[in-house]
Structure 1
Amino acid sequence: MAEQEEDFSSLPLPDRFTHKVWKVRKAAYEDAAKQFEVTPDEHDPAFRPFLNDPGLWKGAAADSNVAAQQDGIAALCAFLKFGGREGCTRTRQHTVTPLAEKGLASTRAATKASALEAILLYVELDTAGPIIEELLPVLSNKQPKVVAATLASLTAIIHNYGCKIVDPKPILKVLPKAFGHADKNVRAEATNLAVEFYRWLREAMKPMFWGDLKPTQQTDMEAAFEKIKAEPAPKQERFLRSQQAAMARAPPPGEDAAEEEDELEAEGVEIDAFDLAEPQDVLSKMAPDFHEQLASSKWKERKEALEALFVLLNVPRIKDGDYGEVARGLAKSMKDANIAVVTQAAQCIEVMAKGMRKPFGKYRSTVTGPIMERMKEKKASVADALGAALDGVFQATSLSENLEEVLEFLKHKNPQVKEGTMKFLIRCLRTTREAPAKPEVASICEAAKKLLAESSAPLREGGAEILGTVMKIMGERAMGPHLEGLDEIRKTKIKEYFETAEVKAKDKPKPPPAAAAPRAAPAAAPKKVLGKKPAPKKAAPAPSPYAQEAPAAPLAPQPTAKSVSKLGGPKPGLKAPLKRTIAGPGGAVPPSLASPRRPVSQAPPPEEEPAPAPPRLGLGRGLAGRSLAAKTPAAARESAMSPPPSSGLSALERAELEELRLDKDRLLRQADDMRQERSRLNSEVQELKNSNAQLIEDHTRDVLSIKAKETQLVRARSDCEAAEAMCGQLRREMERLKRALTSAERINGPSSGMTSPGRDSSDEAGIYRDTGLYGGGAPTSYGSRTRMSFNSALSEEKENGIDPVADKYGRSKLSPDLGMGRNGRTSAASGSAGHISPARDPSYRSDRMRDRDSTLESNRNSGSGVESWKRAAEVTSALKAKIEQMKVNSSTTKFSVQASTY
């Protein structure tokens, strides 16, 4: 046995790792762990065999003996802890799966703890992505305990490193499958993992898996979420090696840095659902006839098209594409006459901006103007929808991109539009995370101060709130110049809004050295010039005390006995601060400026004696000034040794310095002019855009009007053609009637006025006298009968006021063809008022003539007078019945003739 142990110990560690005896393997694991712990660094040769053959750790992690497995996983932890990143990247693909299947599901607590620690070390040494990819397939294992243990390890990874290090999307995708597992332990671990995710993500996690849960599971999850809502935001407990190295290199943070770090952590804990969601292609799902429906003349069809588009756009994330046509259609819908269509279009713009985020910026100018213009609607639901759409657009863009358009609409003539734009600007200032630049602050303040002078109270309140919110961002000191000229009441109101405003952006001024660097740049040129002449005298350090003592000299202007000897020095001392400012903006006095002060004492004093004469110290003329200068030659000598007022600069250098200052002023003026020119050009561009939109709208209106006129013209032409056809038909009908009337007259004309020879005029007169066909007259001869009948007919027609023949056909009533029968007698029916003479009816004339001929013939053939009278009575009654029938027909004929004439 002893020989076997000696043989095993003499074997190298790789061979002992794969030995068939578990005790040998166990001893090898223990020896390896001890060697790893005493290595000086990760490049020690002890790690080399395991880096060359990473498969050794697969057997150690999945050892068949539970005791050996425990030591093997412990050795793996020591290897990872001391071996560094290279040991992690080479071995993780061999060990993570065995650790999950064999180590995490072990019955030994020490083995489970070591396996979990190894997985956490793999994440710590590199990144979490590859480890998550190795663990997710284990969730499909047939053994429920393996699945539950793997879910527990994922929970531990999220708990220690947080969702900033671990990407939650792959885990959230497979989480619904764990909730549907048959084992209750698996479902319990899935619930714990979801709760851990909720600590980090809050409501942003729900769109990923919430819809796949059962209602009872959703209820249970909501109850679990309620318990942790009041907990503070979680923080990362374990850090990656890269993070540890960065923290080791960084200097210890001060109080400000700690506050900033806390703010960043507080803001960065909650992750947006946009970052977790997968982009969805909306364009391919849109209806092919969407734009036709959106341009329909029926508002219901337009609204239905927008509702279908809203369903497609209402997703957490939208895949980028060409949405220009959709954006233009939504912008056009802002001008719709139906407010339901406007509201739906605004909701579509809101979800589209939230789903696209940054790519939506290229469509901002298309939709923002129409939305603001439509804010003139007074209905609350429409105004809320438009405001939400503007907020969505702002989330996808920034304050700087929207500011120009907002400021333009703050000048709108409609108070409703102005108030809506003002509220939108306040919301932008509250939610922006980037402080506006100083020129933008000036523009905002100018617009807000104009609102303070409005007649409407809400606009005045809004102007004060804008100024207070900007003051909260920029600080009270920076806002001081912008509030000049305002009365105390308005300043007090602005101060109230400043104290209650809540903003997310803070203006952080640059540190003084960074701010002073641009000022030192113009002075670099004269500094080099000054260094050329006094170069041999750079070693003179004497002027530094002078530069420090010079400002103190003007503080002793009292002519006391103790200060008499020092009165000569203050005059050049007054120029010392100017000297320090010009020569050394960084605070140090260059030797090139101090070196000329030594030869000043060697210069002839007569040039410096006149210097005390002017009252430089403000002592005024009188005894003090004159006597002190005359009686103290030591003061004169001291003044001769002081530096000249020129601060050591020659005339050429001063001229060059003045030239540089003038150039600087000129550049500043040019920058201001260019800024103003840019603002003017931007305003002109906006005006041109507005005019272009108006022209397009007018052109569209004109085209529609022209099309409507053309449609009306076509309809009028068709109506005219139909009328012409009708007129032609009526004309043809009238001609036909005329021809029928003429033919009837021709047929009946020659027979009128003729009598049969051999007839007895008295018998005929008696018959017609009894029948009353000629108006009741009883002529005795043919001529008298004809004359009486004609006159009676004319008189009756004149009394009744009708002359149908003359009125309708232009014929005279004296025409014998119309007024006489066969024997020249006028019809008795012509006297009936309001009716056309029945003589015009050919059927009537023919019937009458037949009856009369039959009556005369019967009278001639009959020899008895009684029978003749009886027959005459019968004929008369028959004629009366026919006359009544003729009257009815004559009224119908009159109406038809009039219609045909017209």
Structure 2
Amino acid sequence: MAEAEQDFSSLPLADRFAHKNWKVRKEGYEDAKAQFEKTPDESDPAFTPFLQDPSLWKGAVADSNVAAQIEGLGAYCAFLKFGGAAACTRTRNFTVGPIAEKGLPCTRPAGKASAQEALLLCVEIDKADPVLEDLLPTLSHKVPKVIAGALAALTVIYHNFGCKIVDPKPTLKALPKAFSHADKNVRAEAQNVTVELYRWLREAIKPLFWAELKPVQQQDLEKLFEKVKEEPTPKQERFTRAQQDAMATASATPGGADGVDEEGGEEFVEEEAEEVDAFDLAEPVDVMPKVPKDLHDQLGSSKWKDRKEALDALYNAINVPRIKDGPYDDIVRALAKCMKDANIAVATVAGNCVDVLAKGLREGFAKYRSTIMVPMLERLKEKKVTVAESIGQALDSVFSSTDLSECLEDILEYLKHKNPQIKQETVKFLIRCLRTTRTVPAKPEQKLIADAGTKLLTESTEAIRSGGAEVLGTMMKILGERAMNPYLEGLDEIRKTKVKEFFETAEVKAKERPKAIVAPPKPAAPAGKKVLPGKKPAVGQKKPVAAAAAPAQDPPAARPAAKAIPSKLGGLSKPGLAAPGSKLRSKLGGPGGVASPQRRVAEPPAEEAAPAPAQPKFGLGRGLAGRPIAKPAAPVETAPPPPPAPAGMTAAEKAEMEELRSERERLAHTIEDMKSERSSLNSQITELQNQNAQLIEDHTRDVLSIKAKETQLVRARSDAEAAEQNVQKQQREIERLKRELARALRASAFSPTHGGSDADSMGMPEANSLYQDTASNGHIAAARSGLHLGSRFETARPRSYASSNPSEEKENTGLESPGYGTRDNGLGRRKLSPTYGYSGIGSPTRSSTRNSTNQTEEEGQPRAAQPAENWKRAAEVTSQLKARIEQMKAKQGLSRPSAQR
């Protein structure tokens, strides 16, 4: 009781914060809050103990007693609110984690609200990233109510500050784990966070975590999203201290030199919130491993289906929210070539590929713009709606990766195209570019666009004329009516009315800021001071003239080239440092040199000329440098005089005017040089494009020639294989015939000899008959061969051989008919008598065998076709044959009865 009644108010707040009695701690929290609210500024000593020992707040926000914890959270909120940035940055590492574990799950609404307010103040005072780093690990806590409390705090943070101030990517990556939690309260809070993020990001949140959810969860979220789609775009409800300072500065500066209006801060916040999209949230993906390896081979196929399938595979590989930058030159060139494809399906898919590639690379695609934009603009000639939409969407994506200045030259070039379809689609593309660009076109670009739009108003096609009016109306929305009036002067009232109609309905993102108000001119110089340029001295006023005529202090003021000489000639601003007269004249256009335009009009009035006595103090006297620079020389008077200067101008003003004129001339020369250089570069580009087209055509022709040669080669190979098979077949047939011949020879070699009876049976009449048959048929070679052929083979066959099997005769011995006994020795033929059948002659047949190889064509010819000399040879052969037969008969003792037997 004594301890309870004891007064602890005299103790320091640090000791009371660490006291073991919760009531003492609670009173300490209350006193600290009261002191913080009474402090005049952030440097008050009341904050010092807590800044020196930030761990005091760790126990305060996570006090074991609920009542004391609520007061501790309230005191910490007051500390953050009045303590400034140092109070937040020094203590949040000690407080965010305990607040997430003990404060957010608090069962009392006051405690939970104070915990959420503390987190909101930490985000408001500094930034949200450190708060998220300490808050998101709580989503893996083992206690479900702690996870649910952290998710509820995230919902409140995003609702108040939006996704531009608080990065949504870490939260979106952690959401799938919360959706798979077993506790229904955790899943419900995860849905609330997801819906809140959808309010800000819309469909951009899906690529990051949507695929990891179950289909049932996706359906439930889609139902919740339908309700949010009808709501207007959310706005940031709480602003950071930096935003508050910016808005305070903007409201204090009423739209002047800064170009910011009274609501500039809110407009800035809204513009920043609109920039959040899927590209900013997604991580870069390396798509090169997913690109088909045979992409270029498939795109070179002669079948359009193969080309389309290759582009479909490429589209699936690169269709990701954000693509990692890499070498995509070959792919872009292949897509540019596909823009010229005759098949519209291939061109459509190619446009889709360019679209997703440009969206995935964003600024990284800018280097490929010159490669792909011209082929796409050329393909706009296609009248198919699907092709035009695909290529138009791709053009918009390519433009989003660059800016209007980069694309304007190609656009204006195709606005002059002879094809009306290309011209019409290009006008639409230009209008979309003007609507989406965030940079105001420069003055030369404004004139080019306005001239192109004015020219389009005279086209014969209504759609093109309307497009030209819309171009001018959109430009008027960007620049303002006053800035566009000079470009609309030559139009009639009907066209001006149409342009203003489009001006009223146009929506643009780039607007010409009002120029800074020029500061008011300084008050007029008092008497005795130099008159400002542009002001004429009053009548009778002599003091400015006298001031201008005081050369002792500033002699160059009375000289025409005084403004330009000091920067180029060093010390010429003082007479004592002037160069010798010859050099000075050569530089300033004296005799013997080029006359300067400043020199011609530089002669000052008599009262403004520099008097001589002021120069000798530098020790140069009245030498060459002492002569007046403005004294005209004789050759200068022959030059054409410049336009007369207005009356009343001082020498300095005249010199400045001449300098401006020379600057204008130099600028005109520079512009002309740049124009000529640009035209030469354009001609080089055109020449290179023509060469490229020629190379492509030659390559295509070579590819077709190679394919034709390959086809011929395939056919020749097939013919060669067929011929080889035929040769092998003939060789097998030859081998078979050789085997049959060898078999016949072996059979005849081992058979008994019947030569005596054969020779006996032949007799003289048979020889005559043989002679007659041979002579009548012209078979001289056969008769000759019969003289030399041995009787070994001829006598080996029996007498009944003439009546053997016809097939055997034809295959083995060449006999065509058993009746006539025609025998073929393999090369020549002999026709025998039908009465005696086959005649075995003996040795004459050897000659037939040897000489039959040279008698292939003569044996088959009729007797009338043989030359007359063959008869003589036949007679000689016949006489020899008779002699041989007689010798054989005498030697062997052959007789007719034995031959007939």
Aligned 8 A contact 2:479 2:511 in 1: yes
Alignment match of 2:815 (pick from 843, 848, 855): 843
Match of 1:16 in 2: 16
Distance in 1 separating the partners of 2:502 and 2:38: 65
SS for the counterpart of 1:506 is: coil
Match of 1:402 in 2: 407
SS for the counterpart of 2:322 is: coil
**CA-atom RMSD, angstroms?**
4.7
Please tell me whether residue 503 in structure 1 is matched to residue 502 in structure 2.
Answer: no
Q: Deviations over 1:26-82 (max 9, x none)?
A: 222222223322333222232222222211111111111122222222222222222
SS for the counterpart of 2:40 is: coil
Please tell me whether residue 379 in structure 1 is matched to residue 379 in structure 2.
Answer: no
Please tell me whether residue 243 in structure 1 is matched to residue 255 in structure 2.
Answer: no
The letter for the 1-side match of 2:129 is: G
Shift of 1:360: 0.9
The 10-residue stretch of structure 1 (372-381 or 846-855) with the greater mean CA deviation from structure 2: 846-855
Match of 2:634 in 1: none
The letter for the 2-side match of 1:506 is: K
Please tell me whether residue 534 in structure 1 is matched to residue 538 in structure 2.
Answer: no
Distance in 2 separating the partners of 1:453 and 1:536: 59
Aligned 8 A contact 1:430 1:504 in 2: yes
Distance in 2 separating the partners of 1:470 and 1:502: 11
Please tell me whether residue 686 in structure 1 is matched to residue 701 in structure 2.
Answer: no
Aligned 8 A contact 2:435 2:509 in 1: yes
Match of 1:132 in 2: 132
Aligned 8 A contact 1:201 1:269 in 2: no
Distance in 2 separating the partners of 1:32 and 1:727: 113
The letter for the 2-side match of 1:472 is: K
The 10-residue stretch of structure 1 (33-42 or 662-671) with the greater mean CA deviation from structure 2: 662-671
Alignment match of 1:319 (pick from 310, 318, 324): 324
Shift of 1:265: 4.9
The 10-residue stretch of structure 1 (447-456 or 270-279) with the greater mean CA deviation from structure 2: 447-456
Distance in 1 separating the partners of 2:163 and 2:142: 29
Shift of 1:151: 1.4
Q: Deviations over 1:764-786 (max 9, x none)?
A: 9xxxxxxxxxxxxxxxxx99x99
Shift of 1:367: 1.1
Unaligned runs of 5+ in 1: 518-522, 539-592, 597-644, 737-753, 765-781, 791-812, 823-837, 859-892, 895-902
The letter for the 2-side match of 1:676 is: K
SS for the counterpart of 2:252 is: coil
The 10-residue stretch of structure 1 (432-441 or 263-272) with the greater mean CA deviation from structure 2: 263-272
Shift of 1:259: 6.2
Distance in 2 separating the partners of 1:528 and 1:412: 55
SS for the counterpart of 2:408 is: helix
Shift of 1:536: 8.9
Match of 1:197 in 2: 197
SS for the counterpart of 1:269 is: helix
The letter for the 1-side match of 2:309 is: E
Aligned 8 A contact 1:331 1:366 in 2: yes
Aligned 8 A contact 1:331 1:371 in 2: yes
Match of 1:695 in 2: 694
TM-score, structure 1 length as denominator? 0.65
Distance in 1 separating the partners of 2:173 and 2:820: 110
The letter for the 2-side match of 1:670 is: H
SS for the counterpart of 1:377 is: coil
Match of 1:746 in 2: none
Q: How does 1:166-315 map to 2 (within 5 A)?
A: 166-252=166-252, 254=254, 257-258=261-262, 264-270=268-274, 271-315=276-320
Distance in 2 separating the partners of 1:647 and 1:854: 149
Match of 1:551 in 2: none
Distance in 2 separating the partners of 1:224 and 1:729: 82
Aligned 8 A contact 2:815 2:821 in 1: no
Match of 1:144 in 2: 144
Shift of 1:22: 1.7
Distance in 2 separating the partners of 1:115 and 1:708: 77
Aligned 8 A contact 2:250 2:265 in 1: no
Distance in 2 separating the partners of 1:63 and 1:711: 88
Q: Percent identity?
A: 52
Aligned 8 A contact 1:234 1:269 in 2: no
Distance in 1 separating the partners of 2:14 and 2:404: 64
Shift of 1:353: 0.5
Q: 1:407 to 1:272 in 2, by over 3 A?
A: same
Aligned 8 A contact 2:62 2:103 in 1: yes
Distance in 2 separating the partners of 1:26 and 1:475: 64
Q: Deviations over 1:703-732 (max 9, x none)?
A: 435645765786798799999999999999
Shift of 1:258: 4.3
Shift of 1:92: 1.0
The 10-residue stretch of structure 1 (404-413 or 53-62) with the greater mean CA deviation from structure 2: 404-413
Unaligned runs of 5+ in 2: 523-530, 551-604, 609-644, 736-760, 787-809, 823-830, 839-859, 862-901
Q: How does 1:578-597 map to 2 (within 5 A)?
A: none
Q: How does 1:662-673 map to 2 (within 5 A)?
A: 662-670=661-669, 672-673=671-672
Match of 1:618 in 2: none
Match of 1:82 in 2: 82
Distance in 2 separating the partners of 1:263 and 1:654: 46
TM-score, structure 2 length as denominator? 0.65
The letter for the 2-side match of 1:44 is: D
Q: 1:471 to 1:111 in 2, by over 3 A?
A: closer
Distance in 1 separating the partners of 2:181 and 2:725: 85
Aligned 8 A contact 1:92 1:122 in 2: yes
Aligned 8 A contact 2:250 2:264 in 1: no
Q: How does 1:477-626 map to 2 (within 5 A)?
A: 477-513=482-518, 534-535=546-547
Q: 1:58 to 1:3 in 2, by over 3 A?
A: closer
Aligned 8 A contact 2:135 2:150 in 1: yes
The letter for the 2-side match of 1:269 is: A
The letter for the 1-side match of 2:116 is: L
Match of 1:116 in 2: 116
Distance in 2 separating the partners of 1:342 and 1:233: 37
The letter for the 1-side match of 2:261 is: A
Q: 1:814 to 1:514 in 2, by over 3 A?
A: farther
Distance in 1 separating the partners of 2:521 and 2:419: 47
Higher helix share: 1
Distance in 2 separating the partners of 1:729 and 1:145: 91
Q: Deviations over 1:6-27 (max 9, x none)?
A: 5744433222222222222222
Distance in 1 separating the partners of 2:543 and 2:674: 38
Q: How does 1:440-479 map to 2 (within 5 A)?
A: 440-479=445-484
Q: How does 1:23-38 map to 2 (within 5 A)?
A: 23-38=23-38
Distance in 2 separating the partners of 1:482 and 1:515: 30
